[in-house]
Chain A
Amino acid sequence: MTAVALLPSILASLPEIIVVTGACILLIAGQFVPKGRDAVLVWSSVAIVLLAALGTFTLSGGAQPAYAGMFVADPFSVFFKSVFYLAIVLTFLLSRNYADIEGIGGSEYYVLLLLALSGMMIMASATDLLSIYVGLELMVLCTYVLTGFLRREQRSNEAALKYVILGAVSTGIFLYGVSLVYGLTGTTQLDRMAAAVTGDPLDPGLLLAVVFIVAGLVFKIGAVPFHMWVPDVYEGAPTTITAFMSVGPKAAGFAVILRVFLNPLVAGSNVWIILAVIAVVTMALGSFVALVQDNFKRLLAYSSIAHAGFAIFGIVAGGADGVASVMLYLLIYTFMNLGIFGAVIMMRNGNFSGEVIEDYAGFAKLHPGLALLMLLYLFSLAGIPPTAGFFAKFYVLVALVERGFVLLAVIAVLLSAVAAYFYIRIVMVMFMREPERVFEPALTPLVGAALAVTAAGTVGIGLFPAWFLKLAQQSAFGG
């Protein structure tokens, strides 16, 4: 391939190139930033992301396939990349002070986050099982390291080790599925796979391959039965990284799953039954186990499992509305989950960890404004209108009922009533107990800005969902 033929491909993947190049420059230049000037790192990281975002939006419009069908820049990927940019910029804002407190504010921290971002972006754009694999590995390798970033804390190390081992196994399973697909169809490109199949789409070999791929991908979004790593990793990792992982890599995982699952080959093989079972079990497990958690981060881990379950219902529904509902769900989830994590991160100050739910007793009495914000995020996570969380769930339910899955919709709402209990319990602790301590939330301007953005998103999308809904619908493919 000549350089001229390569040019359109380079243009299509320009945002990824910007992020990777920026990360490499920051890696070297970051060594020369004197201690105590970490703000420079935050701002240059944000600048790199904004530059990439600029590239994404100027180049958007229509689908631009690149690298011989391994990669595509289409509205679907633009939507997901916007979610990633949002998630990572908010993470940077939340990290500045937290990283100082935990002593992890080196340039590597930001570089690894940027590299993880590039992996996620590749996943969103990948149209070939191999390029999916490359993006996936790039992302998870960075998150392995970031999980273990609290070098002196045992539980951080333990979490990282668990994550690496389980993650490697699941990646292996995924690769095995890919090799089976290649053996059966002679290609790894998503849109050529279906055409290459001759005969029965329910061929046991293909089915096996699909099941392996499903298993590998479901691990990344933390759905049952591959959820075991989630609580430990979420609890052990630095809270900023947990916040990031709960929205960014998870959204990337969903992007891949949507692309793979709505592929005619997979869609034709009744795989939705597997998915429906996974969705129900995931939501049930997340909701019920969260009921008994005392640790805020563990509770949010199970809550994120439950939310993943709800979003999978959207994939089960399929079709244009199903895909759009998952996308909207992930966008809204990014706002509200980063909001509640932002609040937890803010509480980490001095020797107060902010990780035990009971420690929040009477928080509303001393800090009514901040407590109101947390109340907003919690009710949104519980799916109570008029918050955005309600609309996210509502649209998934609409997609389900549209396809005739009324029973699944009923199960989904009943389980979300269970989930409502533990969110409301936190509200109860904050609002209906007497304070036992003095709180010193580290409300720096950057954290404040992050909270303001997430609150605006949570309320704004809830009250005026029209524009965001249209965006998701227009970006959804397959309809």
Chain B
Amino acid sequence: MAFPLLSLIVFVPAAGAAVVMFLRSDDLVRWVALGFTVLDLTLAIAMLAGFDTGTSEMQFVEKRPWVPALGITFALGVDGISALFVFLTALLGWISVLASWIAIDRKVKQFMVSLLTMQALMLGVFSALDLFLFYVCWEAMLIPMYLIIGIWGGDGRVYAAFKFFLYTLAGSLLFLIGIIVLYFEGGRTFDILALMELDLPFEVQSWLFFAFLVAFAVKVPMVPLHTWLPDAHVQAPTAGSIILAGVLLKMGAYGFLRFSLPMLPEASVHYSTLMMALSALAIVYGGLLALAQDDLKKLVAYSSISHMGFVTLGIFALNPLGLQGSILQMFNHGVTTGALFLFVGLIYERTHTRSIADYGGLMKVAPVYTGFLALFVLSSMALPGTNAFVGELLVLSGGFAANLALGAVAVLGALLGAAYLLGMYRKVALGPASVGARFKVRDVNGREMVAILPLAVFVFWVGLYPKPFLAIIDSSVTHLLQQVYDKGNGP
């Protein structure tokens, strides 16, 4: 067997968590956690470097028996879609550690253990090739995330943590039954690749589609199952928000790409208009809610709902442009919204308020901070030249091709995005420097800069030269569409 690179990527953070558990000094804990996450990023880069963009086959495949009596294997592998998310997770991992450097000042050890465990499980979700393994990682994530929100969160943390836990748990349980049904339909196997070859009757596909939909729609989240998100985001510590927005939300969309589309193609095609309508609803509704927010974090949270609407819209446009756009947009959203939450966290550490009304004229006090904030705000509203522009353009082209009316609604959402984001920036950064009188706001320091810069690089890189990213996902998208249409609408 080849070098087990993927196992290493998954288990390095887990090993980090185990090591951190035995350390005593808080400073040491922080540095060791940083070390393990940076190592993980290095491994993920090595994985991308060795990734063959010419094929849609799974790469770096590893397979070990786990529970042979039930056909459960420990199987890992990545294709173009998952490779990008493995990289994104590793990228945001060490940034989360940096973002918690001083924001987390009590129970540092427990926090880092939770964070590292979380990262191992997220990487497991994206690289699992066995449904059972996927589900175990998917569900186990609830424990560290529950603790991260519930212990280190804001004043309403207990309520938010509960809501997050129960929503996602209840959503996933039907998914579990769906998995077991698939297991028997596929002749007692949890092998994701084998299950993709199944040709199920339409009725079974429909049931499974909706069982899966609940789980994925809660995670994305799609309106009307989104109400846990604002609570969880507002209460979570900065690192928690970064992970939630950057990685966790992607898992729902990833579930659609990995399971719903290839395994249930007829149902996916049949219900695609419904899904696109729900997505368009999320885009506009999320945007309108964001427009009405005074809390910075809530604003970014609702904007996430709107942006994830674009992602699901692109997926269920079921054409190459839409799919490429939505996968790229998921990566972009991870980078940009992760950065926005980081920025909200940075300013909150200094002022202990998130109310937009408390700010004003920040540009005069913290020019570097507001400069970078402008960059990510512009990226979030998809200004040409930034990463989200490429993604949204592709999604909208795909959306228009699939359904003109819903595409038009989605464009409206893009306009809303400009309204709430620019409005927020104007109130916070421009105008008279009311803030200087009340808070001593220090500008960005070196440690924070290290966390910000890589994200800024990706904003421009994807915005100006998206080709390498599209190359990674290209063959997998083509293959995915073949799976949908060859089975779904074939004779």
Contacts and interface: CB of A to CB of B under 8 A. Distances in A.
B151 A432 contact: yes
Interface string A359-379: 000000100100000010001
A386 B157 CA distance: 25
A428 B165 CA distance: 12
B140 A384 contact: yes
A436 interface: no
A417 B142 CA distance: 13
A346 interface: no
Query: Interface on chain A toward B: helix, strand, loop, or mixed SS?
Result: helix
A424 B177 contact: no
A466 B136 contact: no
Interface in A274-292: none
B475 interface: no
B173 interface: yes
Given A424-B146, A432-B158, A470 B177 contact: no
Interface string B212-239: 0000000000000000000000000000
B173 A428 contact: no
A398 B150 contact: no
A469 interface: yes
B70 A385 contact: no
A202 interface: no
Nearest to A462: B136
Interface in B164-216: 165-166, 169-170, 173-174, 176-177, 180-181, 183-184
Contact of B162 (A379, A394, A401, A424): A424
A401 B184 contact: yes
A11 B176 CA distance: 46
B69 A416 contact: no
B368 interface: no
Interface centre among A375, A397, A432 (most CB of B within 10 A): A432
B176 A413 contact: yes
A428 B174 contact: no
A388 B207 CA distance: 29
Contacts of B173: 413-414, 416-417
Given A368-B110, A398-B70, A385 B136 contact: yes
Contacts of A466: 65-69
Given A384-B142, A398-B70, A398-B180, A432 B166 contact: no
B78 interface: no
A28 to B, nearest CB: 47
Interface residues of B, number: 34
B139 interface: yes
A32 to B, nearest CB: 48
B453 interface: no
Interface in B263-286: none
B166 A420 contact: yes
Contact of B177 (A375, A406, A428, A473): A406
A398 B183 contact: yes
A385 B66 CA distance: 15
Contacts of A469: 67, 69-70
A149 interface: no
A308 to B, nearest CB: 20
**Range of interface residues on chain A?**
20 to 34
Contacts of B135: 385
Given A406-B177, A466-B69, A469-B67, A417 B170 contact: yes
Interface centre among A416, A424, A469 (most CB of B within 10 A): A424
B147 interface: yes
Interface in A397-444: 397-398, 401-402, 406, 409-410, 413-414, 416-417, 420-421, 424, 427-428, 431-432
Contacts of B102: none
A76 B180 CA distance: 27
A431 B152 CA distance: 10
Contacts of B110: 368
Interface string A102-129: 0000000000000000000000000000
Contacts of B180: 394, 397-398, 401, 409
B147 A428 contact: no
B252 to A, nearest CB: 18
B158 A428 contact: yes
A465 B162 CA distance: 29
Interface in A441-479: 465-466, 469-470, 473
A410 B177 contact: yes
Contact of B166 (A379, A390, A417, A465): A417
B69 A470 contact: yes
Given A398-B180, A401-B180, A410 B158 contact: no
Interface centre among B65, B135, B140, B177 (most CB of A within 10 A): B177
A58 B65 CA distance: 31
Given A390-B139, A466-B69, A417 B161 contact: no
Interface in B38-73: 65-70
B453 to A, nearest CB: 35
B143 interface: yes
B177 A397 contact: yes
A237 B327 CA distance: 59
A365 B107 CA distance: 9
Contacts of B150: 428, 431-432
Contacts of B65: 466
Contacts of A365: 107
Contacts of B166: 417, 420-421, 424
A367 B366 CA distance: 42
A58 to B, nearest CB: 26
A230 B139 CA distance: 32
Interface centre among B107, B143, B174 (most CB of A within 10 A): B143
Contacts of A416: 173
A384 B143 CA distance: 8
Contact of A406 (B66, B140, B181): B181
B485 to A, nearest CB: 29
Contacts of A390: 136, 139
8 contacts: A384-B143, A385-B139, A394-B180, A401-B177, A420-B166, A424-B162, A431-B151, A432-B157
- The 10 tightest CB contacts between A and B, nearest first, are A413-B173, A385-B136, A401-B180, A466-B67, A417-B170, A385-B140, A432-B150, A385-B139, A469-B69, A386-B140
Given A375-B143, A410-B177, A424-B165, 8 more contacts: A368-B110, A386-B136, A398-B70, A402-B184, A420-B165, A421-B162, A466-B67, A469-B70
